[in-house]
Structure 1
Amino acid sequence: MRREQTSRQSRELILRAAAELFAEKGYRQTTFADVAERSGISRGSIPWHFGGKEGLLVAVLEHSVQELLQPPGGLPRADADGVEQVLEEAERFLRLPLSRLFVTLLIEAVEPDSPIHDRYVAIQDGMRARIQTWAEGLPLAEGVTPRGLAVTVLGATIGIHQQWRLTPDRIDLDEAFATLRTMLVGALIAS
């Protein structure tokens, strides 16, 4: 029992260290030696737990994705007040430490032969599906579809986050979200 608990703790320390390093340096630039140093766990333990570097990457993503796809509370209200809830979720995502990991690894995921390509597709499918399900209950203006709105909200959120991470001194998150809020409210039919 004690050995199993120690193994779980080691695995958790390795996952946390790898997530931080992948977010800081990217997947390709991170080595097992880096993860071992950051986690305080021997380098030889990493492949024992995860197989190889790709296994570690996949485990980091799977460990982190639940927080993204399971935000607190149910679906937002299907009205203008719900727009505020959706934007709060988007902003919450931006401020999560793990969001930096997802944006950093996005470059890796774009490559079709990437070990995380399919997982990123699934993550974004899940996020769009959540937004689309919410949007299906909204009175949308002509030409605005729930699916199109979901793509736009997710794209805007990822784009805002990317710009903010690159130049935090030039991007005002409050201003960006106020603009996105105005755009979303404009997509609704006035009741």
Structure 2
Amino acid sequence: MTSRATRRTEMTQESRRLLITAAAELFAERTYRRTTFEDIATRSGVSRGSIPWHFGNKEGLLAAVVEHVMAELRTDADALESGTLDEALRTLVTFTRHPSTQLFVTLIAEAMEPGSALHKWYADLHKALRDQVRSWVERAELADDVRAEELSIVLLGTVMGVHQQWRIAPDSIDLDRTYATFGALLRSAGL
């Protein structure tokens, strides 16, 4: 590849990165539905016409944003599958504090609306998270009347609820102490 072609490829990749970053920020701040291509172009410094060229449409851009954010979060996810309870809880605290998780909180309300483009994505995300938590839970000895599938739902629901409370009132929620308490409860249950 010539240096000119290499430079063009680098510029294309940089434009795409800037658009994804701007869209993620704006979707978290204003919601997906209320963010326009013009808003994204202004924030990113990339022309508005580049958005459909890179992503096809707004749903394609959303998919790219979600893929990017999930890749960032997946970096630390191994602790949920292979680590101890304390390592998994530390990972959850890290996830909760990650700036891009605000995007998930902002978008979930839109995902619950009828016909939302986000509905299927959230259903798939929640299933993937439940599967990941279940793989960790299945290593523990559970009481006969406790199934890993339902316990995974309860655990994930707890983490999501704590996260939402913290996002709404961060000065009222001490994440470290909250997750330490959660860990103590799990240990007392034999997990």
TM-score scaled by length of structure 2: 0.88
**Residue 34 (1) aligns with residue 39 (2):** yes
- The alpha-carbon deviation at position 70 of structure 1 amounts to 4.9
Gap change, CA 1:172 and 1:140, over 3 Å in 2: same
Gaps of 5+ in 2: none
Q: Is the 8 A contact 1:69 1:127 kept in 2?
A: no
Q: Is the 8 A contact 1:141 1:187 kept in 2?
A: no
1:76 to 74, 79, 82: 82
Of residues 94, 107, 110, the one that matches 1:108 is 110
Q: Which digits, 9 at most, give the CA deviation of each residue in 1:37-72, with x for residues without a partner?
A: 111111121122112222211221122222334535
Q: Percent identity?
A: 46
Any stretches of 5+ residues in structure 1 without a counterpart?
none
Change beyond 3 A, Cα 1:69–1:184: same
Aligned-residue CA RMSD (Å): 1.8
Q: Helix, strand or coil for the counterpart of 1:97?
A: coil
**How many angstroms apart in 1 are the aligned matches of 2:144 and 2:163?**
29
| Matched residue count | 185
2:17 corresponds to: 12
- Where does residue 146 of structure 2 map in the other structure? 144
- Worse overlay, 133-142 or 151-160: 133-142
Give 1:51-70 correspondences, 5 Å limit: 51-70=56-75
State the TM-score, normalized to the length of structure 1: 0.88
Separation (CA, whole Å) in 2 of partners of 1:149 and 1:101: 26
Deviation at 1:141, TM superposition (A): 3.4
Distance in 1 separating the partners of 2:64 and 2:114: 19
**In the superposition, relative to structure 1, how do residues 67 and 143 fare at CA in structure 2: closer, same or farther (>3 Å)?**
farther
The answer to whether the 8 A contact 2:16-2:54 is kept is yes
One-letter amino acid matched to 1:63: H
1:134-167, CA deviations, whole angstroms, 9 ceiling, x for partnerless residues? 1111122343321122111211111111111111
The match for 1:164 is: 166
How far off is 1:175 after superposition?
Answer: 2.5
